[in-house]
Structure 1
């Protein structure tokens, strides 16, 4: 048990701890958004992330999607398999490296994507509607600063020692 004098420095206030707060709000936003497409299209959060990235990239490897969607490899692979089984994406060999599989949206995948986008943008508009222009600009500036700091940390951590 910590000494009383160390109690304040030893205890982490999760309600004020930025990484925890960001994780909680991100999970809540994802879950709330997923209710708009999960029942109607039978799409999970990982599947939606794959579809959204495929729509943006058109043709991409599973490895590249894993790096971009912030999900572990198993979840990405399962999402890709389910989407392929549902006929929403297509797999093909990479022209430069036949061992590398690329995936792309099928016509049915594009149709689902085009139906989900208005739901997603409407959801975002509703959520962001509680912010005035100054709040929105501040949020964008804060995201930029936090991402910049994380980029600097990653760059510093990857530098060789000595």
Structure 2
């Protein structure tokens, strides 16, 4: 007897719906408070944590496609939040870095991000948050294994 797919019981679907709901709530806050779209905020946060990076490295780190990263980078450069410089290791690419204004924005946004996370997960215990983090890491590894053709 063939299995029947029921979306409300299909965990990849439920994970996507939950992720979208959280992302939408966060996106509304970032757009309202700071005029940032989620891809722009991700680039700001990754550059704040990791320093100068190429757009290709940003694609890998954020799991966003080239077009999304490129559009976000252009918007951030246009706002003066990110600078572009030649990449000495690869003349075909540029390195993106946070400007002083970008660093100041990050310093203002990061505490709000932490507060949003606290509010979203307020109904979870510390142990549940840790367990969810561990489960997400395992999910990411399983998905990577599928992509790599291992599983």
Same fold per TM (> 0.5)? yes
The corresponding residue for 2:81 is: 88
**What CA RMSD, in Å, does the superposition of the two structures yield over aligned residues?**
2.0
SS of 1:111's equivalent? helix
Aligned-partner Cα distance in 1 for 2:86–2:100: 19
CA distance in 2, matches of 1:145, 1:98: 37
Moved more, 78-87 or 144-153: 144-153
Q: Which runs of 5+ in 2 are unaligned?
A: none
Match of 1:107 among 100, 113, 119: 100
Match of 1:136 in 2: 129
**Would you say 1:14 and 2:7 are equivalent positions?**
yes
Q: How does 1:6-45 map to 2 (within 5 A)?
A: 9=3, 11-45=4-38
Q: How far did residue 71 of structure 1 move?
A: 1.8
Structure 2 partner of 1:118: 111
Displacement of 1:144 in angstroms is 3.2
CA distances 1:109-135 after superposition (whole Å, capped 9, x unpaired): 111111110110001111111112332
CA contact (8 A) 2:39 2:68 kept: yes
2:46 maps to which of 39, 53, 74: 53
What is the TM-score when the length of structure 2 is the normalising length? Answer: 0.89
Deviates most, 81-90 or 93-102:
93-102
Matches within 5 A, 1:59-98: 59-98=52-91
Shift of 1:154: 4.1
Larger Rg: 1
